Amino acid sequence: MPDKLSTYRAKRNFQRTAEPKGRRAPSNKAPSALRFVVQKHAARRLHYDLRLELNGVFKSWAVTRGPSVDPADKRLAVEVEDHPLEYGDFEGTIPAGQYGGGTVQLWDRGHWQPLTVPADQALRAGELKFLLEGERLHGSWVLVRIKHDRSGGKRNNWLLIKHRDEAADPAHAAALLEQDRSVASGRSMAEITAGIGKSPKPFMQAGARALKAAAVWQPRASAKVTMPRVAMPRFIEPQLATLLEHPPAGAAWVHEIKLDGYRLQLRTERQHTRVLTRSGLDWSGKFPEIARAAGALPDCIVDGEVVALTPKNVPSFADLQAALSEQNTARLTFFAFDLLFLEGADLRPLPLLDRKQRLEALLSSRKLESIRYLEHFDANGERVLKSACEMELEGIVSKRRDAPYTSGRGGAWTKAKCRAGHEVVIGGYTFRDGTLRALLVGVHRDRKLIYVGRVGTGFGQRVLKPLQAALRPLTIERSPFTGTEAPKAARDIRWVKPELVAEIEFAGWTDSGMVRQAAFKGLRQDKPADSVQAERPSQLRQADVPDIGTRTRNKTMADNGDEILGVRISQPTKALWPDAGDGRAVSKLDLAHYYEAIGDSMIAHIEGRPCSLVRAPDGIGRQSFFQRHAMAGQSELFELIRVSGDRKPYLALGSTAALIAAAQSAALELHPWNCAPHEPEVPQRLVFDLDPAPDVDFAAVITAALELRTRLEQLGLAAFCKTTGGKGLHVVTPLVGRRDRLDWSAAKTFAQAVCARMAEDDPARFVINMAKKERTGRIFLDYLRNDRMATAVAPLSPRARAGAPVSMPLNWPQVRTGLDPAKFTVRTAPALLARNRPWQDYAKAAQSLRAAIARFTRAPAVATSRSPRVRKAYHRAGKRRS
């Protein structure tokens, strides 16, 4: 067996240098997790040595200017001799005159995973993609060998490049390399040179630690992952394709047949499979055969499409509709084209071809009749599209071969069609002699249903009867359409609730925006009606193609993205609010800039606290969801907080960059706990929500806030006011927190008693009963925000409501007649915040809740309160000792 370390040993005199000699390395070794180190090396010139464990040794490169987390930087990496694994614990000074003489610092270390497999073959081929998970370096990287050394020498030169992912951080790339503390000993380069300070903690003998990146690719037959298991997501929003007139050209793309069916996601866990639609609905009962077949798979999430094949093996949407209507689904086929999760590993960060390779291996080892792998083609896209059209297929989908899986619509997936097709919303129909003649259809624009024409053909007997049955119970009196071309009421027209989505084929759009020669294909039950918008093909230029691993600043397409504080904003022009009161939409990029502008002011109120996000990926009025816990694939800028009694960690945002990452995930609202930072069990503020009934004027809410302020100040508490972004106001009281040694029960009881006293003093104006029938003409004093897991919208948080309002902190002189909460929006708040500087003394104003309770219980009003329960609770709270 050849000694891989012979070159290393020949260059060193181990009588003079403390570098490890190293044991004879085996030719092949497959540890559970591969390790890496980066050593800062002050030799003749300062450089950084990157070492990747492979086959029992460290493959090593001298990176002249250090690894950069800016994807735009291509750093020269000179390949050097293999080093022994023991070198991963070496930190010290190599004597002058010896090879590499100078100080060596352990600048970073951790684990790595190859994305191009097998790794040794990738190195021989000259391109190795890999993931790092270290103390300082994270995410996806690539080493690319330079074919010809310009100097004519014999050096084996490479380029080290950071891929564009959530770990990329161009804004802080230089500052990262300036960090001068060893990750193993905490020593600076000067301290190491002087031989002072602690010895480095061992790493190479410490055993493999948990890896947070991706899995090592195993042989194709098993396709197993070796990383520790992580929680399987309940649902992953699918990646969508952008419609183009022509498929993209170039070797960066592969092409798949566009299937004419239902997009589905197979989620198999412990041999139980759920079949989910593109919006997350559980359709397992509609496709029982596919669900049973997928039960033979290991724990995984597979993306694909279910189709009905004709005798010519061409997908038919009409046949699929018929099969579902007749509940005859045994002959349907699920074509799998992506693998998102496998046996505890989230595979979405991996390049497309790596995911497909795993998927093919997974399915080829199991003969599942109803589940098939969808092949891709490396040929020219135009030729693939032409062939698809000749076979009477719908078109093709083109995908970037090296792109990660990204939910939503972006430029890494595109589609080109052989014939025009679209989804439309049915808002009415015409009839004759009781039989449907044509559908009246529209699409959504700015939350209105715009009429786009009639669909008059395609109603075979097999689909006509169930279609009429579906329309009949939806009859309404008035037209749901808007637009200049919308039809007027007539004797032969029936209007219906715009809830059904139809798939159509048509010859194109007229100049006035109507569909031409439209034919009905079937109903789509997998897509909500309010998500249907007009989709028109666009041109894709080479400059518009997102380049994985390099910086792209082109703003001509929504998917190219912008960067703010190192966070890439994908689809920056996507409208999240259609209008912020100035006639302009608020885009995702606008939201990110807003968070950047107010970040320092907001962070003080949310840092270190569990924070729930209201996310609306497609903007207000579309589907939204509430996220409390960590999710797979989320930004590493988000912090995690463990809460007693809950196995899942909660999200927390601790920096302006984290706020921008929240904007990237379309987090339109932030709702933190009211606890002390990093202490979920300690109340540190009270929030009183003044919520008026619809018939209460806002002036009455202003008066109530001023009265509540007076009551709190009489109890020795400071009070601050903010708008809610809605029709009410919040009065907020900062507390000293841990020093009081009071729990959430005391905080909630106190808040309830204060509100109860206000309601008792003036029952005509205030109520503490949530029942709507009790609230008419009065203001609901909501004390329920003051429980352990309760949240309140954060100061300066936007709201997912029309007009893009924010919850705006106010100075008390602003809380007066004429106050208009609607003027505080994402567009206006930053300038108003800088001008008025509200809540400047908030942190210094914290007071003792225990003292306030004592004052409250001594007050005469408690003794005469009409609520025995409140009196009893407050005498008990005043004596409580946690």
- In sequence order, what are the residues at sequence separation of 6 or more whose Cβ sits closer than 8 angstroms to the Cβ of residue 550? 71, 72, 161, 164
d(CA 379, CA 375): 12
H-only helix segments in 729-816: 744-761, 772-775
d(CA 385, CA 671): 48
166-172-173 Cα angle (round to 5): 85
Angle between helices 849-858 and 868-879 (to 10 degrees): 130
d(CA 639, CA 672): 13
Residue 286 and residue 324 in contact, taking contact as beta carbons nearer than 8 Å:
yes
Closest by Cα among 328, 291, 294 to 308: 328
Q: What is the DSSP string of 533-564?
A: B----B---GGGS--TTS-----SSTTS-EEE
- In sequence order, what are the residues at sequence separation of 6 or more whose Cβ sits closer than 8 angstroms to the Cβ of residue 686? 674, 717, 732, 733, 735, 747, 750, 751, 785, 786, 849
SS3 assignment, position 27: coil
d(CA 784, CA 280): 32
d(CA 724, CA 730): 6
Place of tokens 């954060």: 794
Dihedral of the CA atoms 667, 669, 675, 676 (nearest 10)? 60
d(CA 196, CA 279): 60
Closest by Cα among 47, 49, 51, 26 to 203: 51
* Annotated catalytic residue within 129, 224, 258, 356: 258
Tell me, yes or no, if 258 is annotated catalytic.
yes
402-425 burial string, b = 16+ CB within 10 Å, else e?
bbbbbbebbbbbbbbbbebbbbbb
Structure tokens at 44: 């003749």
Residue 764 and residue 643 in contact, taking contact as beta carbons nearer than 8 Å:
no
As a three-state string, the secondary structure of 310-339 is: CCCCCECHHHHHHHHHCCCCCCCEEEEEEE
d(CA 147, CA 863): 89
Closest by Cα among 272, 214, 266 to 235: 266
- Strand ranges for 293-446 from DSSP E: 300-307, 333-342, 345-346, 371-373, 395-400, 408-417, 421-432, 435-445
Asked if the peptide bond before residue 528 counts as cis, ω within 30 degrees of 0, the response is no
Closest by Cα among 52, 1, 8, 3 to 24: 3
Residue 119 and residue 125 in contact, taking contact as beta carbons nearer than 8 Å:
no
Dihedral of the CA atoms 750, 755, 757, 761 (nearest 10)? 170
Place of tokens 């135009």: 382
SS3 assignment, position 413: strand
Angle between helices 868-879 and 744-761 (to 10 degrees): 140
Which residues are part of the catalytic machinery?
258
